[in-house]
Amino acid sequence: MIITIGGLAGSGTTTAAEVLSKKLNIPFVSAGSTFRKMASEHGMTIFEFSKFAEDNTNIDIEIDKRQADLANDSENLIVEGRLSAFFVEADLKIWMMAPLDIRAKRICERESKSIKLAKKEIKTREKSESLRYLDIHNIDINNFDIYDLIMNTDRFNPNSIAEIILTTLKVI
C-alpha cells in the first residue's frame, strides 16, 4: 500500500506520517526532511533555501524524482511531501491543512522562533512554493481535486489523525 500525505507547512504531515508508519509498520519518506537536509548542505535556513530554490528548478525536480523512485520500488510506503500526490501512484492521497495561527505556533515551537517570524516565513515560503510549483510543474497547489482525503488538523492530535486515516483505509 502506498499513501501520500501532503499539506501546508506546520499542518502536521511529518508527524502524521511518523505515527501512521509505526501503526502500519511500513516506512515513510519525507520531502520536507530532504529539503531541510539540502538547505543545511548549502549552509542556508529553510527560508533562505526556499528563495534559492526559486531560481534552481533542479532542487524541486530532484526531490520529486527521489520520492517517485522510492515509491515505484516499494510495495508499502508512506510518502510525505507537498507535491507527493502528483508524482506518486498511491492507494490513498491525503492533504492536511490548519489555520495559519496554529501552523505558526507549531513551527515556532519546533524551530525556536517567534510566532511573528514563523508567520512571516510561512507566508513567504508558501508564496515562493506556489509560484515554483506552477512554473516548474504547472501544478496549482490550491487545487485539491487529486486528493482522496482532506483534513483540517487543528483540533486533532497525531494519534487521532492516524486513526482517521486508518478508518479511511478500511473503506477504500
All structural domains of the chain, each given as residue ranges with its CATH number in brackets, are 2-171 (3.40.50.300)
pLDDT of residue 125: 85
For residue 144, the number of C-alpha atoms closer than 13 Å in the C-beta half-sphere is 12
Find the mean pLDDT for residues 126-131. 89
Can you say whether the dihedral through the CA atoms of 63, 65, 70, 75 is positive or negative? positive
pLDDT of residue 13: 94
pTM for the structure as a whole: 0.86
CA dihedral of 127, 18, 153, 92, whole degrees rounded to 10: 80
pLDDT of residue 156: 95
**Gap between the terminal Cα atoms of the chain:** 12
Lay out the sheet containing 2-7: strands in order across.
28-30, 77-80, 2-7, 92-97, 149-152
Q: Above 80 in pLDDT, residue 94?
A: yes
pLDDT of residue 21: 96
Cell of residue 75, nine digits: 510495495
Find the mean pLDDT for residues 123-149. 91
Q: Above 80 in pLDDT, residue 32?
A: no
Find the mean pLDDT for residues 102-131. 92
pLDDT of residue 93: 98
Higher-pLDDT residue of 60 and 93 is: 93
